[in-house]
Every structure is written in C-alpha cells, then in structure tokens.
C-alpha cells in the first residue's frame, strides 16, 4: 500500500499591467461581487490491470511508498482548483474607465479518483477485501476533507474579493487585461489556503499509511485463514 499523491492544478491567467485608482475616482463603483462555488468528487474508477511489482514501481516513482514495502493497492486523485472572474466597466471621467468584478466563480474538487488493486489479488478473498477497504478509506478521507475545507475557502474568498478595489484603465482595449488581473490577484491570495489544504490532506492520509496499520491489516487475514 502507499501514500496518496495529488496533482494540484491552478488556472492562472497572465495579465497586462493595470493600476488601482489612487484618487478614488472609481470608489463609487466598488461593489461586492457575486461569489459562486462549485465542486465535484469525480467518478471513482477501479483498475486491476497492474501487478504488485508495477504498483510498487509506480508508488516509488511518486515517492509515496515507504522503503521495503510492496504495493497491493494504490488510491490516486487529482485536486483541481479553478477561478474565473466576470467584470463590468464604468466610464468615470473622460480619461478613466473603472473595471469592477461582478461575478467570481471558484471550483475546487477532485478529478479522476482511481483505486488500483493488484491483479494477483483474488476477488472476494480476504486479502482483496482488506486492500479494497483500505483504498476506499483513502477516497472517503478525500471526500470528508473537501467537505470540511470548502466552507473555509468560501470564507477566505469572501474576504479577498470583498477587499478588492476597482481597477483603473485608460482605454477600453485594456478591459480584458484588467479582468485577468483580478483573476491573477485572487488566485495569488487564495493559493496559500489551497496549499494548506493539500498539506493537511496528506497528513490525514498518512495516518492510514503506516507500518502498524499495515501489520494490523495483514493480521486480519492471518486470523481469518487460521479460523476457516
């Protein structure tokens, strides 16, 4: 068995340089954007095409397998984070256009959750069922952790987007660049919280992946076979 590994994906848009209005000319247009959250746990897949040796190699490649251990199963998932912003513009003066965020869409969820079971495992055997349960527990930890994290991310997002000042541009051709600047700003401010979530999730998964737990699971089947 092993430690869960993650792919954390950020959608970040590069932007042209814009500036926050210093004279306060855009202050009258400041408003709290509409925050919209979405999430997905992904569709769980099962894969029994890999041998123990192949799963062990895979685990070692990702650094998720302790030295000297062999993998009978793996649980993997991609953690995806996406943020997009819809903005509106207001003509403040002849030379100033104010760009204001109207809607902020945030997605945090999982993609391609997969449980790998070594093909040497005989279906419905004690060993198969123990490994299956272990990997299912990993995926359940993912779900519980995300459900706990989303309210925290939402609270942080409300604070971040509520404090954002309108952006001042000189020409309407810079409207898209200003919009992307909001995306970049919000993403940069929320990224530390996303990374914290990743770290805490790894810690929770690590509580399941340790030699004592592996030994206990192994003894379950030894006891089962001894009393068949």
What's the whole-number mean pLDDT along residues 87-107? 94
Q: Is the pLDDT at 142 greater than 80, yes or no?
A: yes
In the chain, pLDDT over 90 holds for what percent of residues?
56
Lowest mean pLDDT among 59-63, 118-122, 189-193: 59-63
- 3-state class (DSSP) for residue 22: coil
**Does residue 62 contact residue 5 with C-beta atoms inside 8 Å?**
yes
Q: How far apart are the first and last CA of the chain?
A: 25
* pTM listed for this prediction: 0.76
Please state the rounded mean pLDDT for residues 150-168: 89
pLDDT one-digit tens code per residue, 55-78: 888 777 765 665 556 778 888 888
Q: How far apart are CA 222 and CA 228, in angstroms?
A: 10
Rounded to the nearest angstrom, the gap between the alpha carbon of residue 195 and the centroid of all alpha carbons in its chain is 9
Q: Which residue has the higher pLDDT, 4 or 46?
A: 46
Confidence of residue 178 (pLDDT cuts 50, 70, 90): very high
- Determine the pLDDT at residue 65: 61
Residue 97: phi and psi, rounded to 5, are -115, 130
- Residue 13's pLDDT band (boundaries 50, 70, 90)? very low
When pLDDT is averaged across residues 33-47 and rounded to a whole number, the result is 94
Which among 4-13, 18-27, 92-101, 217-226 has the top mean pLDDT?
92-101
- pLDDT number for residue 8: 32
Question: Quick one: which of 224, 180, 167, 176 has its CA closest to 13?
Answer: 180
Q: Is 51 helix (H, G, I), strand (E, B) or coil?
A: coil
Mean pLDDT of 143-169: 90
Dump the DSSP string for 57-126.
HHHHHTT-S-TT---SEEEEEEEEEEEEEEEEEEE-SSS-EEEEEEEEEEEEEEEEEEEEE-TTSPTTSH
| Per-residue buried b or exposed e for 70-101, using 16+ beta carbons within 10 Å of the residue's own CB | ebbbbbbbbbbbbbbbebbbeebeeeebbbbb
Q: Is residue 196 scored above 60 in pLDDT? A: yes
Crossing angle of helices 211-226 and 126-162, in 10° steps, is 150
The stretch 118-125 carries a mean pLDDT of 93
3-state SS class at 34: strand
Q: 5-14, 74-83, 160-169 — which is least confidently predicted?
A: 5-14
pLDDT at 72: 87
Arithmetic mean of pLDDT, 123-151: 92
Q: Given this model, what pLDDT does residue 17 score?
A: 32
> Are 19 and 168 a contacting pair, CB within 8 Å?
yes
% the chain with pLDDT above 70: 83
pLDDT of 199 > 50? The answer is yes
Q: Which residues are 34's β-sheet partners? A: 103
The C-alpha atoms of residue 14 and residue 33 are separated, in whole angstroms, by 21
Q: Smallest Cα–Cα separation from 78: which of 158, 119, 139?
A: 139
């Amino acid at each position: 068995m092993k430690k869960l590994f993650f792919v954390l994906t950020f959608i970040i848009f590069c932007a042209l340089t814009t500036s926050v209005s210093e004279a306060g000319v855009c202050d009258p247009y400041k408003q709290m954007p509409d925050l919209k959250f979405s999430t997905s746990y992904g569709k769980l897949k099962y894969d029994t095409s890999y041998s123990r040796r192949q799963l062990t190699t895979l685990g070692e490649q990702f650094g998720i397998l302790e030295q000297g251990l062999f993998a009978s199963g793996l649980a993997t998932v991609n953690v995806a984070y996406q943020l997009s912003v819809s903005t509106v513009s207001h003509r403040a003066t002849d030379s100033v256009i104010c760009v204001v965020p109207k809607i902020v869409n945030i997605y945090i969820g999982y993609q391609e959750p997969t449980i790998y079971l070594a093909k040497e495992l005989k279906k419905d055997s004690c060993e198969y069922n123990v490994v299956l349960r272990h990997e299912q527990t990993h995926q359940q930890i993912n779900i519980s952790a995300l459900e706990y994290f989303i309210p925290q991310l939402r609270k942080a997002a409300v604070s971040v987007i509520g404090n954002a000042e309108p952006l001042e541009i000189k020409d309407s051709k810079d409207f898209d660049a200003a919009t992307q600047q909001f995306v970049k700003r919000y993403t940069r401010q929320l990224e530390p919280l996303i990374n914290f979530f990743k770290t805490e999730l790894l810690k929770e998964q690590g509580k399941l992946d340790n030699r004592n737990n592996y030994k206990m699971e192994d003894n379950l089947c030894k006891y089962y076979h001894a009393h068949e």
